[in-house]
Chains A and B, each alone.
Chain A
Amino acid sequence: MMMSAIESRRAMPVAAPSTSRLGGRLKRIALHGAVLLLCVVWFTPVLSLFVTTFRSESDSSLTGWWHAFVEWRPVLSNYVEAIYLAGVGRSVVNSIVLTIPTVLGTVLFSAIGAFALARMRFRGRIAVFLAMVGFQVLPPQLVLVPMLKFFLALGLTGTFIPVWIIEMGLTVPFGIFLLYGFFASIPSDLVEAARIDGASEPRIFFQIILPLSGAVLASLAILQFMIAWNHLLIPLIFLGSGSLSPLTVQVASLAQTNAGGLNTLTAATFISVVVPLVLIVSLQKYFVRGVLGGAVKG
């Protein structure tokens, strides 16, 4: 028993090279193949959208988008139609108006809240923090009916105000959670030194904490940009599909009504994704950090 165990252990490295080198190479090939396949499957739909935006309506009704690689007859009419006839140009502006103040507010409110929770000691601190953790996963559907009643009563529906406030309110608990960890890790010596230097609390916030937190604030900003830019339900309810509709609502209504045809829809869709796509590729570092910082760690 003992003997055979020793023998087999000794036998392994001797027998290994020829089979395992071949096996290893096969494994490498399989690995690269699988990764490649995954990338292709994940990218093909995006590519199909992009290609279709340049195809004419008649081409698309007869052949699949891949036919463009056989016969490349690009047209720009889809974009022109989307922007001028399907209201997408207006929606771009609306999306910007919706998103920028939301992102600014989310970052400010989260930073203020995280500053209070991470850098001050008081009774109820832990309760407030845990409430924020709980609120993060609350289904947004819950807020719709009361918020709609509230803003109807104030006569503010049909403006961007309800959307800004609701989008901010839904993300701020997450934002506080994300910033809390970073703020808490800033050495207290630094804050105390500033206090001795004569800095008031708002000054410590603006001149010490915020400048040191650039990266994590950027992470929160990019995440909230994606969320607000891409949300459908809230703007659908509070802005409707009229002249104030942002891109998501506009594209969704084009898709549902089939107005303007498939190719216009694809151009509209591509316009709606181009900003977040550029952001996620160019600022991937901050996006990744935000996603990882916000995941409730195990």
Chain B
Amino acid sequence: MANVNLRDIRKVYNHTQVIHGVNVDIDDGEFVVLVGPSGCGKSTLLRMIAGLEEISDGQIHIGSTIVNEMSPKDRDIAMVFQSYALYPHMTVAQNMGFSLQLRGGAKPEIRAQVEKAAKILNLEALLERYPRQLSGGQRQRVAMGRAIVRNPQVFLFDEPLSNLDAKLRVTMRGEIKALHQRLGSTMIYVTHDQVEAMTMADKIVVMRDGFLEQVGTPLSLYDRPANVFVAGFIGSPGMNLLSGRYAEGNVGIGDIALPVSERPSSASEGRQVIYGIRPEHLILSGDGGVPLVVEVVEPTGAETHVIGRVAGQRVIGVFRERITTRPGDFLSIACDPAKVHLFDPQSEHRIN
């Protein structure tokens, strides 16, 4: 087990820089999720940690060693691929034992290790099967088993659940999390799915276009997104972002004034701001609230999503109540002033 430190990591492909100096510190035993839209560089970063991509600039430390020049096999890492990358011509047991076999382990010892890992993942009955005879979820578990058998310092996961159906994904999410608690190893996990990030991570690293946007615990990212991108990316449905003007403890949006409990840091009366409020922080408020013109009502059973407009700007609300309002009607809503996020429209940084 080991910490992983990324120091000013850069990656250049054919004269195009795709990763622009990323610094991340991952503590020993931490579960870190790299998340971002596709093309943000999260997979490239992971592959650089694995040693599958050259590092154009910067340093990667695993434990106390700089691994920049080390080949993947010497880095003491294991990786679970999106496609699982199981060797089709080997049985489950052979797949899982391959790395030990290459290290020259004795046969009975390899067998013992494989069986131990198989037990953890409930794969004992499948050891003599070939990958093509397994279901998607089983293949996924074999891929994890192959990683476990190595007993690496760091586990790397590259979108391991995206080839599974929605139900199985939830199950496997739990299994990976449980595995982490059991093994206590450092794990770095790449996904584009913010739900996976929120539910699994000790620490989330949000990336966009090769830049780090924010690093923090899931709840700190949810509660205090550092910028408009993170605000919109974390949480589902995404945060409502309305443009308005700050004045005297309120943000004016059109002719509606919404109260704010926290003043913007560089407060100047009349400055332009982006007013952010999460859909789940809107509340129904009898009369005298803010009028929301309803456009679409989507009942999900547990809650109701209402899409509409406030002062002409698009707003989504999520309510526990069942709402029968019809499109075109008004809904009177209120926003909790303590849960409002303010951003600068130019820099898009948080200002409260």
Which residues of A are in contact with B by a Cβ distance under 8 Å? 187, 189-190, 192-199, 203, 208, 211-212
Q: Quick one: given A195-B72, A211-B89, are A189 and B82 in contact (CB under 8 Å)?
A: yes
CB neighbours of A198 from chain B (8 A): 73, 99, 102-103
Q: How far is the CA of A203 from the CA of B104 in the complex (A)?
A: 13
Q: Which residues B35-86 have CB closer than 8 A to chain A?
A: 50-52, 71-73, 77-79, 81-86
A212 in complex: contacting residue of B51, B82, B88, B102, CB < 8 Å: B88
CB neighbours of A195 from chain B (8 A): 52, 71-73
Asked if B246 lies at the interface with its beta carbon under 8 angstroms from chain A, I say: no
Q: List 17 A-B contacts (CB under 8 A).
A: A187-B85, A189-B81, A189-B83, A190-B87, A192-B81, A193-B79, A193-B86, A195-B52, A196-B50, A196-B51, A197-B73, A197-B99, A197-B146, A203-B102, A211-B89, A212-B88, A212-B89
B98 and A194 contact, CB distance less than 8 A: yes
Give min CB distance, A100 to chain B, whole Å.
25
B103 and A192 contact, CB distance less than 8 A: no
CB neighbours of A199 from chain B (8 A): 73, 98, 102
Q: How far is the CA of A194 from the CA of B31 in the complex (A)?
A: 24
A192 and B52 contact, CB distance less than 8 A: yes
Q: Which residues B1-52 have CB closer than 8 A to chain A?
A: 50-52
B79 and A196 contact, CB distance less than 8 A: yes
CB neighbours of B102 from chain A (8 A): 197-199, 203
Q: How far is the CA of A109 from the CA of B221 in the complex (A)?
A: 56
Q: Quick one: given A190-B87, A208-B87, are A196 and B98 in contact (CB under 8 Å)?
A: no
Give min CB distance, B54 to chain A, whole Å.
11
Q: How far is the CA of A187 from the CA of B84 in the complex (A)?
A: 11
A196 and B103 contact, CB distance less than 8 A: no
CB neighbours of A187 from chain B (8 A): 83, 85
- Residue of B with least CB distance to A193: B85
B98 in complex: contacting residue of A189, A192, A197, A212, CB < 8 Å: A197
Q: How far is the CA of A199 from the CA of B71 in the complex (A)?
A: 11
Q: How far is the CA of A189 from the CA of B125 in the complex (A)?
A: 26
- Residue of A with least CB distance to B83: A189
Q: How far is the CA of A198 from the CA of B78 in the complex (A)?
A: 10
A196 and B77 contact, CB distance less than 8 A: yes
CB neighbours of A212 from chain B (8 A): 88-89
Q: How far is the CA of A196 from the CA of B98 in the complex (A)?
A: 11
Q: How far is the CA of A189 from the CA of B84 in the complex (A)?
A: 8
Give min CB distance, A195 to chain B, whole Å.
5
Give min CB distance, B166 to chain A, whole Å.
23
- Residue of A with least CB distance to B73: A198
- Residue of B with least CB distance to A203: B102
- Residue of B with least CB distance to A190: B85
Q: How far is the CA of A194 from the CA of B84 in the complex (A)?
A: 12
Give min CB distance, A170 to chain B, whole Å.
31
CB neighbours of B86 from chain A (8 A): 193
Q: How far is the CA of A190 from the CA of B89 in the complex (A)?
A: 11
CB neighbours of A208 from chain B (8 A): 87
A193 in complex: contacting residue of B81, B89, B103, CB < 8 Å: B81
- Residue of A with least CB distance to B143: A193
Give min CB distance, B302 to chain A, whole Å.
38
CB neighbours of A196 from chain B (8 A): 50-52, 72-73, 77-79, 99
B72 and A189 contact, CB distance less than 8 A: no
Please give 9 more A-B residue pairs, beta carbons under 8 A apart, in addition to A197-B73, A212-B89. A187-B83, A187-B85, A189-B81, A193-B86, A194-B98, A196-B51, A196-B79, A199-B73, A211-B89
Q: How far is the CA of A208 from the CA of B87 in the complex (A)?
A: 7
Give min CB distance, B339 to chain A, whole Å.
43
Q: Give per-residue flags for B144-159: 1 if the beta carbon is below 8 A from chain A beta carbons, else 0.
A: 0010001000000000
Q: Give per-residue flags for B247-284: 1 if the beta carbon is below 8 A from chain A beta carbons, else 0.
A: 00000000000000000000000000000000000000
